[in-house]
Structure 1
Amino acid sequence: MSDAAVLSVRNASKSFGPRKALDGVSLNVSRGEMIALIGPSGSGKSTLLRSISGLQTIDQGPGVIEAFGGPVQSGGKISRKVRETRIRVGFIFQQFNLVGRLTLFTNVALGSLGRIPMLRGTFGAWPQETKDAVMAALARVGVADYAAQRANTLSGGQQQRGAIARALVQKAKIILADEPVASLDPVSARKVMELLADLNATDGLTVVVTLHQVDYALRYCKRVVALKAGKVVYDGPIDGLDRARLIDIYGPEFEDAFWEGAPK
């Protein structure tokens, strides 16, 4: 793992039966980068992100995944020290992963559970520091006015911003976002992507985001990593993704990977 890298994936593979979701993938992510993972459905984007976070084990063999210089997993086994690493890695799910019956405030406060006694969190006896952090995070993402509402009464965009606020309360230094806008309308999706980009540019958070919408990758990220059939087929700047390369990645119907029109 290089000195500049905060995430390192080396020769990682993942099989589901006879199908290889990841096939010898290697990737280094430097501190402060905002990277889009793109590729057709089934290309391995979500599997890679879940493997980086330790939510998914990779195959036995030479594969190694590290974060902040510490082990996440290797040889098909999650590291015993993964909890120490994972506390600094926030994961944003496509379906928000909030508890619908709890208030937005409580959902966001759950981000502090790795840093406070479990009993206090279980009974909602949040320390003042956590309460302050929750309200600051909700204000940062623009949904502080909804703190007392149950999560399941909020719009998808509001819930997703709440999920990002939870990662801020977690004090995550890396945000892994798995299709964070796939369930949102275009207006809400742009707001979420603008928020992630601002957290990257203003707060210095490292962001890795999987996207179906290639135009969003081109608009908000400087580096794009494309997967196809479990292999990295492109890793470079956005200006290298011309029409021919996109057709190679997605096939002749590559326009379907755009929300707002593909390049001519």
Structure 2
Amino acid sequence: MTDAAVLSVRNASKSFGSRRALDSVSINVRKGEMIALIGPSGSGKSTLLRSISGLQTIDPGEGRIEAFGESVQADGKISSKVREARIRIGFIFQQFNLVGRLTLFSNVALGSLGRIPFARGLFGAWPKETQAAVMAALARVGVAEYAAQRANTLSGGQQQRGAIARALVQKAKIILADEPVASLDPVSARKVMDILRDLNRVDGLTVVVTLHQVDYALRYCDRVVALKAGKIVYDGGADGLDKTRLIDIYGPEFEDVFWEGAPK
């Protein structure tokens, strides 16, 4: 792991039966970067993100993943120190991953469980510090007025902003976001991406986000990593992804859906 890297993936492979979802993938993520992971469906984006967080084990062998200088996993086994790394990594899921029957406030407060006694969280006896942090996080993402509402009564965009607030209460230094706008309408999607970019630029959080919307990747992220059939086929600046490269990544059909105003 390099001195500047907060995440390091080395020769990581992952197989599901005969299909290799990741094929000797290596990538370093530096502190303060905002990186888009793009590629066709099934290219390995989500598998890579889940492997980085330790939610998915990689294949046995020489592959290893580190976060903040601590091992997350190696040789197909999750490290005994993974909890120390995970507490600083917030994971944003496509389907929000909120508890529908709980209020938005309680869902966001769950982000503090790694730092307070479990029993206090179980009974909702949140310390004053946590309560203040929850309301500040909800205000930061623009949904403080919905704090008392049950999560399942909120829109998708409001729930996703709540999920980001939970990562803030967790005091995450890295946010891994797996297709965070895939199920949102265009307006809500832009709001979520604006929040992620603001947290990156203003707060200095490191953000790695998987996206199907290539235009969002180019608009919001300075660095883009493209996967195809489990391999990294591009890793560089967003300005280096021209139409020819994108067609090579996604196939000739990509030109048929190429959006107006995209790179030529």
Letter in 2 for 1:240: G
The answer to which of 41-50 and 236-245 deviates more is 236-245
Other-structure match for 1:66: 66
Letter in 2 for 1:184: L
Tell me by how many angstroms 1:256 deviates.
Answer: 6.9
Other-structure match for 1:6: 6
Tell me by how many angstroms 1:258 deviates.
Answer: 6.1
After TM superposition, the runs of 4+ consecutive aligned structure 1 residues lying more than 2 A away are 255-264
Give the gaps of 5 or more residues in structure 1.
none
Tell me by how many angstroms 1:257 deviates.
Answer: 6.9
Letter in 2 for 1:248: D
TM-score by length of 1: 0.98
Instruction: Answer whether contact 1:24 1:231 (CA < 8 A) is retained.
Output: yes
- Superposed CA deviations along residues 119-146 of structure 1, whole A, max 9, x for unmatched, are 0000000000000000000000000000
Change (3 A) 1:143 1:50: same
Q: How many residues align?
A: 264
| Rounded Cα–Cα distance in structure 1 between residues aligned with 2:258 and 2:144 | 32
Q: CA RMSD in A?
A: 1.1
Tell me by how many angstroms 1:263 deviates.
Answer: 3.7
Other-structure match for 2:109: 109
Other-structure match for 2:146: 146
The yes-or-no answer on 1:29 pairing with 2:38 is no
Change (3 A) 1:6 1:256: farther
- Superposed CA deviations along residues 191-222 of structure 1, whole A, max 9, x for unmatched, are 00000000000000000000000000000000
Other-structure match for 2:90: 90
| Rounded Cα–Cα distance in structure 2 between residues aligned with 1:255 and 1:122 | 52
Other-structure match for 2:130: 130
Counterpart of 2:99 in 1: which secondary structure?
Answer: coil
| Rounded Cα–Cα distance in structure 2 between residues aligned with 1:145 and 1:76 | 44
TM-score by length of 2: 0.98
Tell me by how many angstroms 1:254 deviates.
Answer: 1.5
Letter in 2 for 1:17: G
Give the gaps of 5 or more residues in structure 2.
none
Change (3 A) 1:255 1:191: farther
Tell me by how many angstroms 1:239 deviates.
Answer: 1.0
Change (3 A) 1:176 1:119: same
Instruction: Answer whether contact 1:72 1:79 (CA < 8 A) is retained.
Output: yes
| Rounded Cα–Cα distance in structure 1 between residues aligned with 2:68 and 2:259 | 35
| Rounded Cα–Cα distance in structure 1 between residues aligned with 2:256 and 2:175 | 27
Change (3 A) 1:140 1:257: farther
Change (3 A) 1:123 1:153: same
| Rounded Cα–Cα distance in structure 2 between residues aligned with 1:60 and 1:17 | 14
| Rounded Cα–Cα distance in structure 1 between residues aligned with 2:172 and 2:240 | 31
